[in-house]
């Protein structure tokens, strides 16, 4: 069995987000063959995401980057999120394009 490790680029991206937003928490979502999505929520309410090849790699990357991983979407974490108007517009376009 081969143990996969997170890329330096993924870890650096997580660290950069956390540093720019006063720290961050993450939720890892399995997205099938594509792997795993790491949704990051900064302490300032900003949010973003990164993708990893698997949930194991996503967890390892978060650990190396110092990002706390939440097991699920807790109410406090959702309430912290502050989506921008541009994000709402881009999300509606993705839904309409399906």
Residue 72 belongs to domain spanning: 8-97
pLDDT 10s digits, 14-49 = 999 999 999 998 999 888 888 998 988 888 888 888
Rounded distance, CA 63 to CA 47, Å? Answer: 18
Among residues 22, 73, 68, the alpha carbon closest in space to that of 45 is found at 22
Helix (H) or strand (E) holding 60: helix 55-65
Domain count, the chain: 1
pLDDT 10s digits, 56-94 = 999 999 999 999 998 765 666 566 666 555 555 555 554
Residues 6+ apart with CB under 8 A from 46: 20, 21, 82
Residue 31 maps to a domain: yes
Residue 13 maps to a domain: yes
8 A C-beta contact, residue 67 and residue 47? no
């Amino acid at each position: 069995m081969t143990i996969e490790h997170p890329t330096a680029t993924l870890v650096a991206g997580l660290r950069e987000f956390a540093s720019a937003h006063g720290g961050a928490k993450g939720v890892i979502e399995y997205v099938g063959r594509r792997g795993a999505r790491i949704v990051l929520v900064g302490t300032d309410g900003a949010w973003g995401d990164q993708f990893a090849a698997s949930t194991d790699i996503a967890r390892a990357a978060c650990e190396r980057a110092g990002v706390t991983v939440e097991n699920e979407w807790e109410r406090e974490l959702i309430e912290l999120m502050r989506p921008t108007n541009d994000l709402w517009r881009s999300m509606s376009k993705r839904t309409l394009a399906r």
